[in-house]
Amino acid sequence: MTRPLRVAIAGLGTVGGGVLKVLSERRSELAARAGREIDCILVSARDRKKKRAAAVGNIPWADDSASLAASDADVVVELIGGEDGAARLLVEKALKAGKNVVTANKALLAYRGAELAALAEEKGVVLRFEGAAAGGIPIVKALRESLIAYDVVAVKGILNGTCNYILTQMEASGRPFADILADAQRLGFAEADPTLDIGGGDTAHKLALLASLAFGIKPDLGNIPIQGISHITPHDIAFAREFGCRIKLLGIARRLGDRVDQRVQPAMVRLGTPLADVDGAFNAVVANAGEAGPFFFEGRGAGEAPTASAVVADIVDIARGHASPVFGRPATSLRAAQPAPAEIVKSAVYLRFDVLDEPGVLAEIATHLAKSEVSIESMIQRSRAPGEPVSIVMITHECSHEAVVRALKVIAASDRVLGAPCMIPMEAG
């Protein structure tokens, strides 16, 4: 057996604590798998006095996380989080010092993945991030090492457990977004500041990584239009059911000719398709690997054990000497993503208009849609209560999203249309 692999861990929160626990409790099991022992030789976390898991034991402590880069470690595990600051400093320093790095930091990689990958490959070290993309689901490894014989044409998924939990609860209870969010915060399923989750930013970080692996492009947050879920109403969810669908927040990346269309947005997914049935805090990914067909992966998207599972697998891979390019292909070969022009992005869409209950409103809406060549496949009009606004909802035939947005702008300007119309694309699940 080779000498033990030396690991240094920065960040001892939920995930870091879980990783330490697994490394200690499953020491011999992991050694059998890795072909060598794995020793945690150094840890670092913001607050030294905080009560920690027993697993920290007598492991030496560094006050400055950046100093892990100068330690004897073979692998630096960065679980600090955040796109900049201490996390970025440590990862850059560690790679420059010729150390392998394992991280679960989606934000850092979504912003700086291409340059960090280039640095790692230049230094001949490994940078791994299974825990960054969909919790415990081994989708990074699958895209990097398994689904490589045929071109992946699309990858999409439910990548944020908080949003999926909220949407699932809204459907189950019929209650509005804000109520369910407040509950989720009380129960610890949502952060005190939930912006990154419910605004879709976290999903976009993960999507940028999956798109890079799938299409050989640089992670590129700047080219991902992002829409969150806070505008979704219980009415939308109920209407979705009437149309045989569920609303899910999806990260979507697909090849359109030589362009890549990347988006984060709520989508209507038909009941009975895999993504529609993903409930609660679970994550799931569909990867359409050309002739090899669609693949579907589902699992827990966050939390101690799922993320620790991903991080530990990365560490064992490094112990075994497994080295693949960070994003599957050499970093120097990653192309800048060419976003798909808006007019070629097409699908059927769900539209909701809240309107005054007056004659001619429907005709007005229908006329504007027709002018933009948006044609209606099915429609429901329903009053909520006498005197209250009426909801007109419809599913269109396939149409250019740009054309719909154009029509909605004109329609929204009408005095008889209340608030912004809601548009949710249909998406194969």
Catalytic sites, residue numbers: 206
Q: Where are the alpha helices (DSSP H) in 97-218?
A: 106-123, 139-141, 161-173, 177-187, 195-198, 201-215
Shortest spacing between CB 143 and a second copy, in angstroms: 10
CA 143/CA 390 separation, integer angstroms: 46
**Residue burial 338-376, b: 16+ Cβ < 10 Å; e: rest:** ebbeeeebebebbbbbbbeeeeebbebbbebbeebebee
Q: Name residue 422's beta-bridge partners.
A: 352
Q: Which is nearer to a second copy, 248 or 401 (CB)?
A: 248
Q: Which residues contact 241 (CB under 8 A, 6 or more apart)?
A: 171
DSSP 68: G
Looking at beta carbons only, is 149 or 363 nearer to a second copy? 149
Question: In the complex with a second copy, which residue's Cβ is closer, 225 or 280?
Answer: 280
Nearest distance in Å: CB 360, a second copy: 44
Minimum separation from the CB atom of position 232 to a second copy (A): 22
Residues contributing to the site for a second copy (CB under 8 A): 22, 26, 29-30, 32-33, 35, 130, 136-138, 141-142, 145-150, 272, 274, 277, 284, 289-300, 304-306, 308-310, 312-313, 316-317, 320-325, 328-330, 333
State the Cα–Cα distance between residues 227 and 200, nearest whole angstrom.
6
Strand 282-288 vs strand 154-158: parallel, antiparallel, or unpaired? antiparallel
Q: How far apart are CA 359 and CA 263, in angstroms?
A: 37
Long-range contacts of 217-221 (CB under 8 A, 24+ apart): 217/260, 217/334, 217/335, 217/336, 217/337, 218/113, 218/114, 218/334, 218/335, 218/336, 218/337, 219/109, 219/110, 219/111, 219/113, 219/114, 219/327, 220/262, 220/336, 220/337, 221/110, 221/111
> Is the Cβ of residue 284 or residue 361 nearer to a second copy in the bound state?
284
CA atoms within 13 A on the CB side of 362: 12
Nearer to a second copy, 130 or 427 (CB): 130
User: Minimum distance between the CB of residue 125 and a second copy, rounded to whole angstroms?
Assistant: 14
Report whether 77 contacts 311 (CB < 8 A).
Answer: yes
Say how many CA atoms lie within 13 Å of 88 toward its Cβ. 12
For residues 162-194, one letter each, b for 16 or more C-beta atoms within 10 angstroms of the residue's C-beta and e for the rest, the string is bbbbbbbbbbeeeeebeebbebbeeeebbeeeb
Cβ(24)–Cβ(314) below 8 Å: no
Q: Among residues 328 and 339, whose Cβ is nearest to a second copy? A: 328
Choose between 87 and 312: whose C-beta lies nearer to a second copy: 312
| Nearest CA-CA partner of 209 in 163, 141, 300 | 141
Query: Is residue 229 a contact partner of residue 163, using CB atoms and an 8 Å limit?
Result: yes
- Smaller CB distance to a second copy: residue 131 or 228? 131
Residue 367 near residue 416, CB atoms below 8 Å: no
According to DSSP, residue 73 is labeled -
CB distance 81 to 111 below 8 Å: no
